[in-house]
Structure 1
């Protein structure tokens, strides 16, 4: 059977018969969340990388958790991965920057291309792939005893990049500014990163990722442990970064997906089958006029 590659807004007719459900009697929600408003026209092309996953399948030992997932994540866009727990969203995200291979007995098939180059090419160094495709986790993970300043520049050593003090100073200010944290911490850069609030720690982790100048930034439920005020600030930061860094975010919050993303991919694992993409397309269309009834049921809270 040929590998499954879904086009944007792929209808249910492109999926296997085993994946179908009978249409629900309920109509879609009459007032779906309003998607992220269009940004001002760009004066130049977006600077992020073009990420493309091609027919990705994944296993943990004998258990298959993803089945032939293909997804295009273009520069200048925020892509949200949505779906119930256990459908493979976080696994897929970790595959994109080669974290999946760190799990014992984890294997995969398919390709991940960044600007046309295979991330898993044996000739490509792991540190190079991680620098190009950064990761922000669900729980903020700054180095707690390390200063705010040293947290930001920590990635330079890991990627083998050398920089003088003046360059580091500029990089710290630039990265913290882009992460929306500079004004709050500029007067206490020598204080421990672990002393910051949860929301500030998460933005510090974003700044740390940005300091190595990634082409793509992956976010695995970055706001799930944060209060509403911190969540709003992280969402604002995502919007501000979108033209410079391609962003892929996993979220269980449908309102958040509607607010921050340009396009969505709905993952689902049914009746013990591996996770697959049911539907993929512009966020507004996914919420207002989904082509698959399962998508409508999920975004309107009927399951999951």
Structure 2
């Protein structure tokens, strides 16, 4: 039996709201996040900014249950996806992973697998069965959404590892989109890319935000200003756990932040 898939729109059946409430996290007894709460609206881009070591990537991994897989990791608080806690008893890990996708800092396509098979790999991992025709349409659609189709449409059967770094990252985005996530998490997706590839990824982010809620960690303040609708500034001071100093609409965070520490960071005085 096959399942026909259609790309969700930015409605109640497409992009979803994500709401973290009172998140605290520990590694081996060391507290790294303290009572972090943040609403991430549906169909918007939320940028997590702040210096290294303040818990941004840890918070991002908590949002799709990757934190719990690390030995010695502990967690308190709730992560609500459309009002339902993804950590609630009885909620399946695979369900969270399908609805909340992840793109990592370093592109990680399956190097020996073809471009085509890279895109469809997530279907098998999440138990979705689809006919050949549905897969063909899905590959074209997801590669188009990731801004890669025109560059690789004649190389679909070649290894994904043969693509450039920027193309590999967009291939990973396409692979994430194939399982129809409602949320897409991105952990510094452009940090290892050249300016041209970075611009293409940013264009992809803005296009995707019409139908998928995006949360991105970035150290690039210009990038945060370009792609995000709202920002959350994380900080860990003098050995204390990371926390959110302030958050709000991106223009206000950059032009008129309420906390002096935020102003110092976005203006490059530290970090």
* TM-score, length-scaled by structure 2: 0.95
Counterparts in 2 of 1:87 and 1:44: CA distance versus 1, 3 Å: closer
1:155–1:212 CA contact under 8 A, matched in 2: yes
Other-structure match for 2:97:
130
- Of 45-54 and 178-187, deviating more is 45-54
Consecutive aligned runs of 4 or more in structure 1 exceeding 6 Å deviation = 42-46
Query: Does structure 1 residue 95 correspond to structure 2 residue 54?
Result: no
Of 246-255 and 116-125, more deviation after overlay is shown by: 116-125
In 2, Cα distance between equivalents of 1:167 and 1:122: 34
Residues 43 and 212 of structure 2 are in contact (CA less than 8 Å); yes or no, is this contact kept in structure 1?
Answer: yes
Match of 2:25 among 58, 63, 66: 58
Q: Deviations over 1:36-82 (max 9, x none)?
A: xxxxxx99779311000000000001100000000000012100000
Q: Distance in 2 between matches of 1:69 and 1:172?
A: 37
Q: Is the 8 A contact 1:46 1:243 kept in 2?
A: no
1:179 pairs with 133, 146, 152, which one? Answer: 146
Determine whether 1:240 maps to 2:198. no
1:75 and 2:42 correspond:
yes
Change in Cα spacing, 1:180 to 1:46, as seen in structure 2 (3 Å) is: farther
Contact 1:76 1:245 in 2 (8 A): yes
Distance of 1:116 and 1:158 partners within structure 2? 26
Shift of 1:122: 2.3
1:206 to 136, 159, 173: 173
Contact 1:140 1:201 (C-alpha < 8 Å) held by counterparts: yes
Q: 2:117 matched to which residue of 1? A: 150
Give the aligned partner of residue 163 of structure 1.
Answer: 130
RMSD: 1.3
Once residues 264 and 10 of structure 2 are traced to their aligned partners in structure 1, the CA distance between those partners, rounded to angstroms, is 39
Match of 2:197 in 1: 230
Are residues 242 and 43 of structure 1, via their aligned partners in 2, closer, same or farther at CA, if it must alter by over 3 Å? closer
Q: Cα deviation per residue 1:56-110 (whole Å; 9 max; x = unaligned)?
A: 0000011000000000000121000000000000000000000001110000000
Decide whether the 8 Å contact of 1:180 with 1:203 is kept in 2.
yes
Number of aligned residue pairs: 263
TM-score by length of 1: 0.85
Which residue of structure 2 lines up, in the alignment, with residue 21 of structure 1? none
Q: 2:163 aligns with which of 196, 205, 208?
A: 196
Distance 1:172 1:56 in 2: 36
Measure the CA separation in 2 of the matches of 1:215 and 1:45. Answer: 10
Cα distance between partner residues in 1 of 2:269 and 2:156: 47
Match of 2:5 in 1: none
- Distance of aligned partners of 1:295 and 1:244 in 2 relative to their CA distance in 1, 3 Å threshold: same
1:255 counterpart = 2:230: no
